[in-house]
Amino acid sequence: MAKRTLDAFFKPSTTPPKRPKTEPTESTISTPETNNISIEETKPPSHHSSYPIPIAQLPSHVEVGLEHATPATSPREINNQPHLDLLHFQPYIPRPTANELFKFLRRELPFYRVQYTARRGDVETQINTPRWTTVFGVDETSTFIQQDNGPNSLVLLETKTKTPIPKTKYQCSPRPIPACLDVLRKQVEAANAAAGTQNPGYNFCLVNYYASGEDSIAFHSDDERFLGPDPNIASLSLGGERDFLMKHKPFVPGGNVNGTADGCMSGAAHSMSGPGGTGVTRSGTLSGGTLNTVSPGSRPVAVPLQQIKISLGSGDMIIMRGATQSNWLHSIPKRKGQTTRGRINITFRRAVIPGGTNNYYHYNVGTGGMYRWDEVAREMVLRDGKVKNATG
Ligand SMILES: O=C(O)CCC(=O)C(=O)O
Ligand SMILES: [Fe+2]
């Protein structure tokens, strides 16, 4: 990859003329005449039979920014409430690079507006996911292995036996994490190591695009059984600033408040705040740190009433660790009427069983059409009416 110094990277540079995307090499012209002007030529895109389109590699100026300047700050630990264990990088990626990465991913990734039906008792409801989504990865029982040097040569094998997976193993065609997101995955794993966190071994990358303040994710926790106990979820924000809310789960005799549909399904069966995603009504005041003690049985349980609001800017990253997911709900609430820039969120996770793979593709790719960002229309445009082999 073409390397440039950090100084050169942050200096305004003359934008070189755009080259056709297909050119497979890249170079930096560095002579006294050109004064280190970087000519960006892209590496060949990531191909796979499961992809609806080839997925471009990062432009070298973004790659350089990521390589040389992340983490941009040391994380702040947020663990001042029961069961809460967060690392907040503010930012993790320097803002100029994060903004470039935002535009690149919005332009290059396939996106979906997933619709699904949710059943509660006898009642079936059709849910329109209130944001754009896409997903890559496979659970730990399968592994993508490079067979040869061909562009389409990653094959999916059983992790244990290294034999091809049975055709019936998945109700979807798992997609390998493309190079442009795999760079981030590795860096975020390194950030965990630097913070003394056990290697999360991320094998999934979920992407949300919130086009405006109308798009949202309702209160939920990412504590599906297919993620194993105490899952580590890293969540990266790019583009427009949005509020990230967290609140402690209420005590429910017999277990969690379980998922009904309100468009927060990055995976099924998370714990949720109830239909409508407006949250569980609690008695008491929502003032700083007040504890509401409920006594469902013989043992009183203290429920912290303080809701947390973190404003997430471009490049910020939150790593949610330990008991956070089993005890806290999080959301990106709607901001109707406010002019908000589009925002991309990327979460890295580790799924441990095939059910996780089926679930993530079902709720983040689905069976509807594939959309791409259109720079002229400035919106997502339908490109492919039906998803080929994406879910069963
Ligand atoms: O957009 C965000 O910051 C949150 C996304 C999220 O919670 C999820 O995808 O599970
Ligand atoms: Fe989440």
Residue 390 is assigned to a structural domain of this protein = no
ipTM for the predicted complex: 1.00
Residues of the domain holding 142: 6-384
229, two tokens: 């106990």
pLDDT of residue 190: 96
Number of compact structural domains in the chain = 1
Check: CB of residue 383 under 8 Å from CB of residue 371: yes
Residue 236 is assigned to a structural domain of this protein = yes
Residue 210 is assigned to a structural domain of this protein = yes
Is the beta carbon of 235 within 6 A of some atom in ligand 1?
Answer: yes
Map 183-238 to HEC letters.
HHHHHHHHHHHHCCCCCCCCCEEEEEEECCCCCCEEEECCCCHHHCCCCCEEEEEE
pLDDT, tens only, 84-140: 999 999 999 999 999 999 999 999 999 999 999 999 899 999 999 999 999 999 999
Atom of ligand 1 nearest to the CA of 237: 3
Residue nearest to atom 5 of ligand 1 (CA): 345
Q: How far is the CA of 333 from the centre of ligand 1 (A)?
A: 11
pTM for this structure? 0.81
pLDDT of residue 3: 42
pLDDT of residue 251: 66
Residue 354 is assigned to a structural domain of this protein = yes
Is the beta carbon of 303 within 6 A of some atom in ligand 1?
Answer: no
pLDDT, tens only, 252-298: 655 554 333 344 566 543 444 433 333 322 222 223 334 445 444 55
Least confident of 38-47, 68-77, 139-148, 310-319: 38-47
Ligand 1 pocket: which of 220, 332, 340, 360 to mutate (most atoms <8 Å of CB)? 332
pLDDT of residue 299: 57
Residue 130 is assigned to a structural domain of this protein = yes
Residue nearest to atom 10 of ligand 1 (CA): 266
Q: How far is the CA of 196 from the centre of ligand 2 (A)?
A: 23
Residue 138 is assigned to a structural domain of this protein = yes
Q: Please compute the mean of the pLDDT values over residues 36-50 and round it to a whole number.
A: 77
> What is the amino acid identity at position 141?
T
Residue 392 is assigned to a structural domain of this protein = no
Q: What are the start-end ranges of the H helices in 78-162?
A: 95-108
CATH number for the domain that contains residue 304: 2.60.120.590
Q: Please compute the mean of the pLDDT values over residues 306-335 and round it to a whole number.
A: 96
Residue 222 is assigned to a structural domain of this protein = yes
